[in-house]
Amino acid sequence: MNKEKDEDMALFSALTKGMKPLTQDKRHFREPPKQKRELELKTTQLHADSYFSDTYQPHLPLEGAMRWAREDVDSLELKRLRRGDYQPELLLDLHGMRQTEAKLELAALIQACVKQHCACCCVMHGHGLGILKQNIPMWLAQHPQVKAFHKAPKEWGGDAALLVLVEIGEHPSWD
């Protein structure tokens, strides 16, 4: 057996005589792994931008249409939302989204309303399993820019949507 190995090595050496080995280029096309601290910092900043907590339980109605208004908002505003006096200028469709995605989209919608001076928007959560339908009112009640919300009229989604009244204030346009 040793003799066969020696013959194989000699044959291999003869065949590869005069060849240069390839140089290894050290290009790696993957992004370098992020440091744990960097990831935690980004996650913290992301959550700091949104105002929503899953543990906060605002006082919401148990029966009837889903509705809520801040204490400083006139109850007439809720009635106007219910009747459809406000026409939503921005629409957000959350069908098929996870809770974390929905939170970020909701925060972005409210920010867009303030930036574009849109007093009313519509959030379509759908029926589904009811997870977003339960959580979105809780999240909206926590946001400081949300004045009120009410179940949308039929033409804007009915039970599967909410009309949201946003406080746009006297902010200049940030274009």
| CA distance linking residue 111 with residue 48, whole number of Å | 14
Residue 2's pLDDT is: 80
Question: What's the CATH code, domain 69-166?
Answer: 3.30.1370.110
- Res. 119: pLDDT tops 90: yes
What is the domain partition of the chain in residue ranges? 69-166
Supply the angle between the helices 99-116 and 131-142 in degrees, to the nearest 10.
40
Q: Tell me the sheet residues that pair with 93.
A: 124
Q: What is the mean pLDDT of residues 110-120?
A: 89
| Per-residue pLDDT reduced to its tens digit, 35-56 | 777 776 565 556 445 577 777 7
Lowest-pLDDT range, 49-53, 77-81, 160-164?
A: 49-53
Mean pLDDT of the chain: 83
Query: Chain centroid to CA 19: how far?
Result: 57
pLDDT at 120 over 90: yes
Per-residue pLDDT at 172 exceeds 50: no
CA 112, CA 107: separation in Å to the nearest integer? 9
Instruction: Say if CB 161 and CB 124 are below 8 A apart.
Output: yes
Tokens of 115: 């930036």
**Which residue in the block uniquely carries the two structure tokens 């929905």?**
102
Give me the pLDDT at residue 89, please: 93
Q: Which two tokens stand for residue 162?
A: 């909410």
